[in-house]
Amino acid sequence: MKFLAYDAYVLKLIAVVAMVLNHIAIGWAEILPLGVILPLYAVGGLTYSIMAFFIVEGYRHTSDLKKYIGRLLIFGVVAQAFHPMILGDTAILPLPFFNIMFAIALALVVLFLYDNVKSRVLFWLLFVVACILSLIMDLFIVSVLVPLLYHSIKTESRRRTVPGVVMGLFFILSGAMIAAPAWAMYAAGDYAALQEFAATAGAMSEYLILAVPTFGLGALLGAVLIRNFNDERGKRSKWLFYVAYPAHLAILAGIGIALGVVSASLFGFAF
């Protein structure tokens, strides 16, 4: 149906808006009720399931992969100045890490290796190394796995659906694993142990138990949207994500400082 078909510009715009909402939920979690955080955090799941598709499209059509990766790294360095204030050491994300621009650059390297390393054994060894490196980057292993799936799956209908579904199930299942101890205590009626678990985890228990699976639901929605991509470019949007990523982090950090929920810093160093 025509009204359910989306061009590249619309999908990228949806992904950017979802990203901003997700980062509001993370960076301002201290002042937002859980009922607001959960839906804002959930929609963020569709961002990478959409953007990873266009990362692969960009890889396939770029005339200069080095410049493509170089642009990502330049904007990644700029974004990293503000990234720790919004996405590092928060109630939802307790550890600082490198932003998604670096993860995308790593994913592009993986795609290049997939196409150019003749030995499959060697490629998968290198892929494992990339996965290890991704553990200090945004979205962790998912950041390199999802683009590889978009690139390697041959049947177009499956290529548009499977990666987002895999991403969604990853976060739903990992969220369930994180929540499993609390659920087991509740089912067994061991409320004393449950209270001790909650006290130890603090606010993290609510965010990890509830937010991670909802993020997976967002990724599944992203798969639905990509499935309905109409193969049209729409408005020119080459620089949309490049500019929006560091810009929105800077704006959210500035507002967060004004609200008193973010400590002023650059690259994680307070001033």
Q: 254-265, pLDDT tens digit by residue?
A: 999 999 988 888
229 beta partners: 6
Q: What is the pLDDT of residue 114?
A: 98
Q: Which of 77-91, 128-142, 192-206 shows the lowest mean pLDDT across its residues? A: 192-206
SS3 269: strand
Q: Which of 29-33, 168-172, 209-213, 219-223 shows the lowest mean pLDDT across its residues? A: 209-213
Decide: 270 and 89 in contact? Cβ < 8 Å.
Answer: no
Q: What is the pLDDT of residue 237?
A: 80
* pLDDT level of residue 198 (50, 70, 90 thresholds): low
SS3 141: coil
6 beta partners: 229
Cα distances (angstroms) measured from residue 69 to each of 81, 165, 225: 19, 27, 26
Q: What is the pLDDT of residue 267?
A: 87
Asked whether residue 125 carries a pLDDT value surpassing 60, the answer given is yes
The span from the CA of 214 to the CA of 104, in Å, is: 23
Q: What is the pLDDT of residue 174?
A: 84
Q: What is the pLDDT of residue 23?
A: 95
pTM, two decimal places: 0.88
* pLDDT level of residue 8 (50, 70, 90 thresholds): very high
